[in-house]
Amino acid sequence: MLRILDKIDLPNNEYLKLDADISIGKLLSESELFRFKKVSRVLMHLENKIDNQLNIVKTAKNNLIKIDNLEQKETILEQTLTDAFSKNLNFLGSLEKEKIKEQLTKSINNGHVYMMDGKSEVLAFLIIKEMQHWGEEKLLVAWIWIKSDIEKQEKVNIRSSLQNLFRTYNIKNIIASIHIQNIASLYFFEKLGFKPVAISLKDI
């Protein structure tokens, strides 16, 4: 059984810190804890590998394109939310979906938005934002969407591009908050190198 340590406060959520270096598979197998505590979200953390040799960062392969046009941001966000709500996040209620949409609409105005496109379609869409927490600068992955029916190599390219993009921000701590029922995203972030560090509980 996992022990729960001190609380971690982040905007919109309060998290309880886990005391173990644990995999997503092991975390999800702690079913008794999850039923009893009614876990809502998992906070995942990546210690970003920062290289002081800027030429390495500049030459790192990155196929993500930054979007500055607000109308384009809003259009792609709407498309990706519609897709996610019908697939990976289809377990969410209407109120929770509206809350997520509202938060992400704000994030595209004060965050950094990227996309990767194919010949005629969006393959990946990313919203990240810098934030201060306990006096430390962190990079929050607010939203990431990846087209489900793409080739394995394209998924590998997306992961590689994300890792290289994170390095360009020169921020050591990168975090993401993921719904406990969004299994695909939990394992995707683990492949990126993120580790579960805390859980958020549902209101009882």
Query: Where do the domains of the chain lie?
Result: 1-44+176-204, 49-171
Q: What mean pLDDT value characterizes the chain?
A: 82
The pLDDT value given to residue 54 = 41
Instruction: Please give the Cα distance from 52 to 49 (Å, whole number).
Output: 10
Tell me what percent of the residues of the chain surpass a pLDDT of 70. Answer: 80
Mean pLDDT to the nearest integer, 140-151: 92
Mean pLDDT to the nearest integer, 33-58: 66
**Is pLDDT above 80 for 189?**
yes
Band of pLDDT at residue 6, cut at 50, 70 and 90: low
The whole-model pTM stands at: 0.84
Mean pLDDT to the nearest integer, 195-200: 87
CATH placement of domain 49-171:
3.40.630.30
- 3-state DSSP assignment of residue 127: strand
60 or 43: which carries more pLDDT confidence? 43
Instruction: Please give the Cα distance from 5 to 16 (Å, whole number).
Output: 6
